[in-house]
Structure 1
């Protein structure tokens, strides 16, 4: 059943928000949330209230040559609900899945083009943090609670940036943008990689992550490395040690997606609705077989870039470069053979922020795994034999694609490490 939804109180008033180059990310955030039960009418009513706080999501994308703008037009959006009498219960699935046959029918993917509602969360609106902020407000209003105290900020101003440093575009932090390739070439590459690889999902309990973190922090008095640093390092080390036998093929560097909210309230306030992400490349690992050395290189890169002075140079340069590659029909989704990418959602508890009051019972599922591209989410809650729900809050799942003849080798190495409680990891 399809019905039109409008904001309880229209607040867009036709305002236009010019998009930055860093917002030109085509595609959407396609997630499926699963609950024990739902009140559809209550969900719709809460959405109407939420849209009053988020008029950008009832707006439309305007394209004028090379300029992209979102007009907060206060238009209605479609709300579709279907009673499925074919699916007896939701299957037990990992956080990230490649089973499109199960997930795809429940996803109405957004297409970033004029006249399409942006509620489906076109990535041009913002990143995961912005998406979760919206979902959290919706969840809280569904429960008749006040929305988050931090209100969304839609304006994306350039006038507070310093003048661009002409030489900064040559820095390693811009390499991923510089190496952008034509969309057609990237799609062809992904199709070929899909046929040559298989999806892999690996869960790590909170206790296992704590163990890995303790290993990288042994005798390390300078900087406390996080469990995320240790997890990233473990994935790289396992590939280098057990899969990539040729030294020339070792993974030497990693791109880390870093959210720059919190670095500067002037440049990126907490409520900023935009894509506040930097894709930073580490230096070469001093020892590509050392868990600690890899984790230290990752943390060092994060620390070096999370400064207002760096952001003041990075923002105008990335804005210009992203505008340029978009005009040329290129996409920044290319990296060298000795490099990998980590896109982690570990800091975000999606199933807590959008649980609609069903604590530890909401589950998240999504699509999208790629070769040498690691997506990390918190573990879903599970139901035990007694029917009780439990959640390992500090646990994580890593999802990626791997060449078919590597998959069992990787899984065997990981299982062995788990059985030994990682005691032989150096």
Structure 2
């Protein structure tokens, strides 16, 4: 009897798979850079020159009347990470317009997986911490996934990971980022100042109108976006920052205003590249090669040597974060995926097994960038601050090692699947698997 259930994860078009492959290669380089910068910060912060590191991180620059007198560490968290979240906004817009999230039937499983990967770690954190309101502020720390770090691990251990599983990982991470954005906006906005918000909204509206009306012009003139849209975006960011809303939200909003479709076709009737893709091409190297590594450098520096180390790693916050990321992420993702597939009568396709999704869930336990940001917002200082950062670093290493062991053992299977899917019998340059239904 033929199995007529819908296959999961979705394969995606050949063009989408190639785009994702290129994106993941760029993210893997950025992931390696951020690991290197975090390691440098960790070594420096625990060396005899530790005071110079903290002096550099806390050195203030900027203009106070505009609420922009910030330390270098704060500039990295509020300013440079806005570039990273701008790309998140672009990716979200693309997924909703032309990607997997545009189809509810395709999107329901990775969305459910992302939600499970947020709810279960948060629940574990709350259970471990208990009724302590000060420590419970960190409930969102273990809910985030660092796609750059995860992809860097994936690039090293799983070069033959099936395309459909890579698409699932990216879609899951995009939805995870969307949830993290909502958490930061709702739960970590203190001392809201509504006065600058109208100016921020007007600036955003102007930015969106120009991008929509002149996207063809911006796509054809590579410096026009920098000269026209970029200054407006910086002004919007400054007003959002002054309002008390975390400034990374401005990056997401600006990215979401950029059109994905160009509305123009070439002589062959093929739609030209949209402004969102042009911006992604220009900004991703800046984000992966500079913004995120610099943030990691200033955020990861915490003293882990000395008499207080045992007290730090045994702190309830540290235990809760490690348990949430290392155990909660894979359990939440796999459990929610299983429930969603049963509800939608879907089946695993492409020779995948549930153990593969366990490996993806373990990769999602690499929190790092966004987890460090949430830790900064949750615990401005004190032992809890150090415990949270040490726990994030430790949990990310444990998750990476666990995923490496599991997915490394599955790599031979991945290689066989990749060989089968690369067959191009008709010689048209597109693998046959993308030209037929399963």
State whether TM-score is above 0.5: no
- If the TM-score is normalised by the length of the shorter chain, which range does it land in? under 0.3
TM-score normalised to structure 1 length: 0.25
Where is the helix percentage greater, Structure 1 or Structure 2? 2
Where is the strand percentage greater, Structure 1 or Structure 2? 1
The higher-RCO structure (CA 8 Å, 6+ apart) is 2
